Structures are given as C-alpha cells and as structure tokens.
A and B are shown apart, each in its own frame.
Chain A
Amino acid sequence: MDQMGKEDKKAKSGAVMVIGGGIAGIQSSLDLAESGFKVYLLEETPAIGGTMAQLDKTFPTNDCAMCVISPKLVACGRHLNIDLITNSEIIGLTGQAGNFTVKVKQRPRYIDPAKCTGCGACTQNCPVTRVVYPVEKSELEIKRKDREIVDPILAKHKERRGSLMPVLQEINKRYNYLPKDVLSYVAAELGLNISDIYGIAKFYNAFSLEPRGRHKVSVCMGTTCYVKGADKLLQRLCEQLDTTPGGTTEDMRFTIESARCLGCCSLAPAIMVDDKVYGRVKISDLPKILKDYE
C-alpha cells in the first residue's frame, strides 16, 4: 500500500492501491474507502477472499470464518470507492510516496464477468484440471550406477497406482537417504512434480535428504520409555558418540534418532539398532551394544 508522503504536499494522488485481496487487504480497503480514499484492490487469483474464505472456523475464537468474511466481501464488491482488479499482477512500480504509477498486467478471464452468475459448473467440467507438467527428461542426467539401482525399482512399481511411496521407501533403503538427483529422475519417470516429491519426502520421519550413517540407532521415546528415563539414555548416547539427536557421527558409523514408539513398552527403555531391538537398556549397556556394529 502506498503512503501519503507528508513532506511532498503538492503531489498527493488521493488514491490508494491495496495489493492482495485476502482478509487483511479487504479490511484495509474498506477502512481506507470509508476514510474517503479511492481504493484499487489488486488480487492475483480470480476472486478476493484468500485463505480465510476456505476455512471453517478461525483461531482462537472459533468464529465461523464465512460469517466474518462474507459481509466484507459483499461490502467490498459494492463499495463505490473500491475498484477490484482481479486476476492481475504488478509488473512495474514508479514514482514516490504519495504519487505512484503502477503497471498492472491483467490476465484474461475468458469469461464475461457481466454475465457470469458464479455457479461453478465450468470449473467442475473443465477437462484440464490437475495437470502436472513434469520436468523435461532430456534435462536430467544421473550416473549410470544410479540408474542401475533406480530403474529396476521404478520398473517394479511404475505401472501400479500409488507407486511413489514404495519407490521412495526402496530408494531410501538402498541409499540410506534420498539423493537429490535421483529424486529428480524419479519425478521425471513417474510424471510427477519434484516439489510434490520433496513435500512428501520431508513429511515422513523415515526419509532423509541428507546422507546417513551405516547403522541407525533409534532410541524409543514412547511414553513408557520416557517415564523410565529414555531421555537420559538418548543424552548419554549422544555424549558417547559426540553427536546430537538426529545427527550422524563423523565416521558415518551411526545416525542417532529418537523413535516414536518401538512397541516394546513392556521392555522399556528400548533402543533399536538397524532392525534389532534391545530391551531394558541401561546407560552402562550402551558401549557393549554398539561394539557389534562397524
């Protein structure tokens, strides 16, 4: 929003542009318009309302989101001093406080706004929704060695629905983490967006985007283990290996993690090294357990 420059008295434009038609932009536009300014409310998407229009309730008062926002939407649309410029973005801004010139690019709507009733039938019937534009295959190169590993995994799952998770799990098992170039290759092969794959890879605790140690030590932090002192165990383990929870030792031997619950609550506190579970672990047992893993 531009401001009225106090020093520059001669060049006040008397109009304000509000950028972004979410709840904040709408409220600012209404307040400004009520104070006598001409408001241009600019919004990137085809409609104002933003995220709040998608919510059921608002936090922390639990007010119904639509009940709050819809009178404002209507007021904004009807206000004679507010011009809505939707489906648009700013491509240039010149001038100074109090007197700006804004260059706006408005994308075509392909629909006559005067006739549209907002019934939504066109969005439901549009045949090109959810189209993903994958990375061009030619842009990608991964090492032959990686291809030898990844191609069979892809071939095994490619044709099945919901193949992404099994593919990521096998790659994670094979490399102990998810290498970036391999992920790009997987994205292209599966026809998915790399950002979607990243989103999923980061969501799950079992996946890592960083290389990990040869052995994974998971200290159970389930309720029972916690009550029986697993936090002390984790602290001591990290001290012994000179690393931090989630970290990897310098020699790439161990990665330390805190696990959610290993399901060995009756043997608390428990730790798991690779696939082997050790129950009723005492701090003094740790060196003996780790000795077997090189």
Chain B
Amino acid sequence: MSAKSMNTLDELSKKGLQSMYPGKIKIAVGMATCGLATGAQDVFDQLEESIAAAGLDAVLSRTGCLGFCQREPLVDVYVPGRPRLTFADMTPPRAVELVEALKKGTFPAEYVLCRYETETLLDETFKEYEQDAGDTDLSGIPLYGEIPFFAKQKKIALRNCGYIDPGSLEEYVARSGYRSLKRVLSDMSPEDVIDEIKKSGLRGRGGGGFPTGLKWEFTRKAEGDAKYIICNADEGDPGAYMDRSVLEGDPHTVIEGMIIGGYAIGASKGFIYIRTEYPLAIERLQRALSQVASAGLLGEDICGSGFSFEILIREGSGAFVCGEETSLIHSIEGVSPEPRNRPPFPAESGLWESPTNINNVETWANIPAIMEKGSGWYAGIGTEKSKGTKVFSLVGKVNNTGLVEVPMGITLREIIFEVGGGIPDDKEFKAVQTGGPSGGCIPASLIDLPVDYERLAEAGSIMGSGGMVVMDEDTCVVDIAKYFLEFTNDESCGKCTSCRDGSELMLKTLERITEGNGKSEDVDFLLELGEAVQDASQCGLGQTLSNPVISTIQYFRDEYRAHTELGKCPAHVCKGLIKYSIDAEKCTGCTLCFKNCSAGAIKGKPKQVHSIDPVRCTKCGVCLDVCKVGAVIVE
C-alpha cells in the first residue's frame, strides 16, 4: 500500500465528512425506490424550490432508505449545533412548512419521527449531536433508539443506508469505507482473509446458508487459470427487497466486499447479476463503479498492491430460476438458463468452466464490516450456528412495514409485535410466511420461535432471502399455497419432469380445492406428490416448491378440511366457497354498492334495501370495500 493511496482515502474521507456535516443546514431526502414511489421526488422538488425562494442557506441531498418504509417519504434534517431529526410522512405542503420553520430557526415538531443523540456505526459512536433545540421542547420527541421499530435492530449490512448519499464515494469513505480493503491489500494474505471470514461464521444470506468462508476456500483451492466472482442480485423472491435497498442505498459496500472477495479467492473479474426490474439500483451501481475506478480502488494494480480486479454489470431479464447459481451462470454465458446438476459445484467449475464464487448482495455487504471489526466481534452476535444479523423485509398485514436488520436468534414475536408493531385493525395474527416460494408458513402457535437457519428449517420453512409476509385472519392459507404454486409452476424452466408436471398437478389440485370441488383425499395426495417432487428435482426451485403446500397442510389441516369436506373457506377468500349478501337491517340504500358493481349484480333503489343477485355476482368484493355501514355480509 503506497502512501499515496492512504492519502487518497484520508482526503476522500475529509471531503465526505464535509458534505455529510456541512457548516450549515443539511436536508436529506430518502430516495430509494420505496421513497420515490410515495412521492419523495415531489418533496425533493418542493424543498429545492422553497429553499431557493426563502433564501435559506442549506444543502439539499439524497440518501438511501432508512428502512421504515411505512412512514416514507422520510426527510433528515441536520442543523449545526442541534440534534439531527428525522421527519416522516412528508408531503410537498409539509416541505414548505419545514423550510419556513428552519428559516425562523425552529422546526415543525409534529412531523418529527425521532431525534438522534448519537449516530452509531458498527457498535461505535460515529457522531454526537448537541441536544440544544433553542426554544422548542425536545422532551416529547423520542430518541431514535426509543422508536420500537428501530430499538431491536442492529445494522451491519444496512449500516450506511439512510445515512449517506449513495451517489457519493466520499461519504462512504467517511463512514470508514474502503478502509477494510486497504488493510486487506496491505497487511493480509488471501489465506488470512479466508480464515477471518471462516471464523466469523458468516453464512450465505441468499437463503442456502452455506458457510461463506468455506465456499471461498474451495474456490481459492480449485485449479483454474481464470477465476470469477459473482454477486447475485437477482432478487426474485416475491416479498423480499433487501438487496434492492442495499444497492440503492449503499452500493459501495457491495463493491468493496467483492474486491476483498476477489483478492481472497484470486479472481480478477467480477460480475454483478442484477434484475432488470431494478433500474435505479443499476444506475447507482454504475455510477459507484466508475467512481471507484477513477479513485484507483478498482482496475489495474489497485492502490499499488499488484492486485487487479474489474467488475461488470449483467442485467437479468425476468426469469426467477436465474437466481439459482448454475442457472445464473448459464444466463451470463448467454446459453439457455437452465440449472444443471451439482457437483461439480461452481467453486470447481462455474462460469466458462472456471472456478467461480457466487454470493448474495447481503453477504457481500457484510464482508467490509467483518474485516473492519474482526471475526470475533461478528461471531459474538447471533446464535450458536447462525452468526451475525439478517435483514428481513417485514411486509403484509403488519403495522410497521419495512426493512429490518435484527440479530439472528430474535423471536418471531419480537419481530412482528415489537419491531413490526403488531397486526393492523386489531385482527388476529394467523401465520407468517418466510422464504418466498421456497419457504413455508409458520403458524401463530410458533410465535416464540427464535429465527435462525436451523430453527426455521425445523419448523418446515427456510430463512430464504429474508422475506417475511405477515398474514392475519383474513388470509386463506390454501389460497396462499395456490398463489405460490402458480408462481413456481410458471417459473419452472421445464427441465425436470417432476418440477414441470408435479407443480402443474399440485396447482390443479389446489385450484380444485379453492373452487369448492376438492375431495377429502386430495390433501394426502398433495403431501405425497409434494415429497416426490422434492426428491426428484434437480435444482433448488423444484426441491423446495412444495414447501408452501406441505407446511400449510402441516399446520392448517383443519382449514384444508373445511374447504374439502365442509365446503367453506374460513377466511372468506376462495370465491367458489363464499357468498355475498346484504344485511337488510344495516343497509341504508345509499346506492354506493350499486354504482360500483361492475357485474350489474346489485339491485335496489335509492333509500331502499339493496340485494345481490348470486348468479350474476362475480365475487369481486367491491361492494364490501365501498360499503360505509358494513351491510355487506360474506359467508
């Protein structure tokens, strides 16, 4: 490591601190896809306009996602000498108010989500804020750590998301970015790096949970002239979006992780395989890559260490099976993206038959943190076999939806009821679906299950990429099982008969059940078929596609029985088994349902009781949604 590159990092860091904490007001808007989808761009534009109009001396910048998607758009305000504040649920009119108040030296306290005393980075205090707020009383405003959504979280992979401008290399370096890379290149041998990762106990975050250090060691030891590194950003599981958030909020951590990995394995080329559905993430990655290349941290002879590495981006084109590693490799090669049998594993023979190491985005994001704080620190978090933290996307029927990073071993109850704030509208918690189409449903009775790779597998589900879809009493598990089978049946590449035809047959059976034509023996048939498909399929897709069916039968056999034997759908979801009618006593004759019914199934005159024609009713549920007096009954 030359003295020059040391200086480069120090200089970058100085610039980064300057732009993160300028000597004047700084307003940062959370502008990941989730923020943008709720109108962050409008808020940003309004702020820009108001700041100019008011002549406020302030810097306006963009940042990634803080994770609290429920309260987006989020806006961060830093005023020198004051506590840092996060404002939630921002709108353009509120932005105007904010700028006006800042101009006067105050702030609109009613929109504040939380304030910060300190800003931490990997368990260490990174920045302290003074708690002087002038005339405004701070006591009513909770601290960051007092917000239930944040209290139980521990941010490692997401450590920079929402704190830095993802378009700024300087700010990443200021939060000790690329320091790990620098140390690795100057002080450590590749074997040392692999050893450190092995000791940390890090396991693949894409879902498989294979020990990362071991995988690296295999690839290092495999013989081959060229070796490759791949970052799997083909985040296909519906219900999971942590990879998108990391790439949009902190692309540099993934790049740094990959360069360290390349050095450890002896690879000179890396690919990032990313979904085409994530245009913003692709754009930010491209910008980040050109920044590091011009800073001399990527390319030929990185920092004078003699190690050269390049990273290329490859876009996927919408095929779920490409998240499977052998299929992904075929896709990069440009041949038909079907999976193949393993062994040989990609570590021996992967991309263009060379040793290849594939890790998921979240895994790569953990690498710089582990190298910085040491394996001992990382191994101290989590459970015996599952170390560190895991990012979950907590979504569905839960109050606080968003991205949460929690230590392994935390219970489902803590995640759903403390971090997630429970179920909306006082409904009953029914189950949580983890692991996407390859995972299973965990029922309310297992709410105290600690979350790690082993315990989830014992419960019949998987960790998967970290999707956590919460379901309440209004969700029908048979319908959910059918939904996942529709997905996997469509996405099956068709190579193995068991997967192609097995999923079709299971789907047909489930469709029959939800239409009300199920037979009592169907349930056992599904179980038997499910196990056969598991055993006889080549890749992960086929081996796991029956998990949603098997786990729901395991925990909710009664609900299946209600469908097949009693002809009822307890959650009132399956159209073939429900009937809509109007309660004559409650109906006020407001004609709302009549106007909204697209099937023309509702009859009635203004101020008279309406009725539904069961023959014409398509059971779309619009009448139920629009009725203001709750007169529509579903049975």
Contacts and interface: CB of A to CB of B under 8 A. Distances in A.
B469 A224 contact: yes
Contacts of A292: none
B36 interface: yes
A263 B469 contact: no
A224 B395 contact: yes
Nearest to B341: A56
A270 B35 CA distance: 13
A59 B536 contact: yes
B25 to A, nearest CB: 29
Interface in B438-454: none
Interface residues of A, number: 54
Interchain residue pairs A-B with the least CB separation, the first 4: A266-B69, A164-B334, A263-B241, A205-B318
Contacts of A267: 34, 37-38, 69, 72, 401
A279 B532 contact: no
Interface of B: 33-34, 36-38, 69-70, 72, 235-241, 244-245, 276-280, 314-320, 331-337, 341, 352, 393, 395-397, 401-403, 433, 436, 467, 469, 471, 475, 480, 483-484, 487, 491, 493, 496-498, 501-502, 529, 532-533, 535-536, 538, 598, 620-622
Given A162-B333, A206-B276, A263-B241, A277 B37 contact: yes
11 contacts: A59-B498, A172-B317, A196-B335, A204-B319, A226-B483, A228-B396, A260-B487, A266-B72, A267-B34, A267-B72, A279-B38
B334 to A, nearest CB: 3
Given A62-B532, A223-B433, A265 B337 contact: no
A49 to B, nearest CB: 17
A279 B37 contact: yes
A2 to B, nearest CB: 30
A60 B239 contact: no
Given A200-B337, A261-B236, A279-B38, A268 B498 contact: no
Nearest to B312: A160
B497 A203 contact: no
A266 B483 contact: no
B395 A60 contact: no
Interface in A275-294: 275-280
Interface centre among A172, A196, A267, A278 (most CB of B within 10 A): A267
Nearest to B483: A226
Contacts of B498: 57, 59-60
A165 B332 contact: yes
Contacts of A58: 536
Contact of B279 (A60, A200, A275): A275
Nearest to A229: B621
Given A59-B502, A265-B395, A223 B467 contact: yes
Nearest to B329: A162
B24 to A, nearest CB: 32
A168 B317 CA distance: 10
B33 A264 contact: yes
A267 B393 CA distance: 12
B60 to A, nearest CB: 21
Contact of A163 (B334, B397, B483): B334
Given A57-B498, A205-B318, A223-B480, 14 more contacts: A60-B533, A161-B352, A163-B334, A165-B317, A165-B334, A203-B336, A204-B316, A223-B484, A224-B469, A227-B469, A239-B598, A261-B239, A265-B239, A267-B37
A87 B334 CA distance: 32
Contacts of A226: 238, 483
A62 B542 CA distance: 14
Interface centre among B277, B341, B529, B620 (most CB of A within 10 A): B277
A223 B529 contact: no
A264 B37 contact: yes
A200 B314 contact: no
A201 to B, nearest CB: 9
B336 A199 contact: yes
A226 B433 CA distance: 13
A59 B497 contact: yes
Contacts of A225: 238
B38 A280 contact: yes
A14 interface: no
Contacts of B244: 263
Contacts of A235: 620
